[in-house]
Amino acid sequence: MWIGVVSLFPEMFEAVTRHGVTGRAVDQGRIALEFWNPRDFATDRHRTVDDRPYGGGPGMLMKVDTLRSAIHAARERAEVATGARAKVIYLSPQGRRLDQTGVQELASGPPLVVVAGRYEGIDERVVEADIDEEWSIGDYVLSGGELPAMVLIDAAARLVPGVLGHQDSAVEDSFNDGLLDCPHYTRPEEVDGRRVPEVLLSGHHGAIRRWRLKQSLGRTWLRRPDLLEGRTLSAEQRKLLEEFIEDYALATR
């Protein structure tokens, strides 16, 4: 997977290029991350990358010429590196909400150029001319697009074959099948009087699978019922969810 990043602060991305799952994936060559700083395309003495907005108001916007030059350079590099035209993504509160379905779309699609904005944003004409899609990680304001870009990169990288240590890890993640994850346990068997559920110690793979699915459905029903709205459950899933709801009602009387 190839991802180009346009950012005024590329050093922030050491969090994903040097550490954890994504860092290992970069080291192993499973994902390639390259960076373009609009400041490197500035031609004035002060290497200016911001400008005042027309109409006045507080704050500044990213300068059009330096930003576009960085985007174009990244897109050209993507074509050289991969032979495909990159999709240019802008992280913006106005964008489509990033969820697991969206992550899967991005991870399975063409190479990406991810634009991290700063200041009050970018000129709308840049959005119209150079941005293919806008994506948001939530309804709140951050100081720049670097953190949302890292969220997108980390989530997409997990879906690249070979990135995770176990082939089932990505499949069993929360949201991968539209449900929250089930509870997990490790040693010791007892912590402050709380024991690992017996089914997980039984070695009965069918029973363990059924328990995990039941807990996943139940946790989704309790914490994110919106994820179940409009979802068609299989006969097994309906039965397990009904069992969970009955168990929960008895436990909370």
173 is catalytic: yes
The single residue of 173, 219, 224, 243 carrying the catalytic annotation is 173
Domain 177-251, CATH number (from 1.10.490.10, 3.30.70.2740, 1.10.3720.10, 1.10.1270.20): 1.10.1270.20
Judge whether 137 is annotated as a binding position.
Answer: yes
120 is catalytic: yes
Task: State pTM to two decimals.
Answer: 0.86
Q: Measured between alpha carbons, how far is 160 from 15 in angstroms, rounded to an integer? A: 19
Q: Note the pLDDT tens digit of each residue in 174-224.
A: 555 889 999 999 999 999 999 999 999 999 999 999 999 999 999 999 999
Question: Using one digit for the tens of pLDDT, what is the confidence trace for 178-189?
Answer: 899 999 999 999
- CATH 1.10.1270.20 maps onto the chain at 177-251
Which candidate, 36, 22, 143, places its Cα nearest to that of 86?
36
Q: Where in the chain is the domain with CATH 3.40.1280.10?
A: 2-157
140 is in an annotated binding site: yes
Where does 11-51 have alpha helices with state H?
A: 14-17, 20-27
Asked if 158 is an active-site residue, the reply is: yes
**Active-site option among 68, 75, 118, 158:** 158
Let me know if 154 is a catalytic residue: no
Q: Which fold has domain 2-157?
A: Alpha/beta knot (3.40.1280)
Ranges assigned E (strand) in 22-122 = 32-36, 50-51, 61-62, 87-97, 112-115
